[in-house]
Amino acid sequence: MEKNEEAIQVAIAWQQLTGWLRVHAPTSFASLLPPAAEDEIAAAEAQLRQHLGFGLPVELTALWRLCGGVEHQYIEENEEAGEVGSGRFPAGRSAVHPG
């Protein structure tokens, strides 16, 4: 697959994800930062190449061009509303193994 095709796939997935977040998790949606600057991406790429001898995956650079990360948003736990507190995962789920 070409780099451009991979970037397009990332953009489509990102659009779907952010659309879902906008409706179902507005606090998480609000935490999304604007795209990373090209010089920041280039600096990360250069450091990785210098220290490990390879660059960033195409998909990661495509994602950073859409979103530069997240800003922490404090979310108070509210079981009745189904809100999970900041830094927590829903019951039965983890970062490594979704339930």
pLDDT tens, the chain, 99 aa long? 677 999 999 999 999 999 998 888 888 888 899 999 999 999 999 999 999 999 999 999 999 999 998 887 666 666 665 656 555 544 554 444 444
87 exposure class (CB count in 10 Å sphere: 0-12, 13-18, 19+): exposed
47 exposure class (CB count in 10 Å sphere: 0-12, 13-18, 19+): exposed
Looking at residue 81, what is its pLDDT? 58
One-letter amino acid identity for 63? L
Looking at residue 88, what is its pLDDT? 53
Region of residue 78 (phi > 0: left; psi between -120 and 50: alpha; otherwise: beta): beta
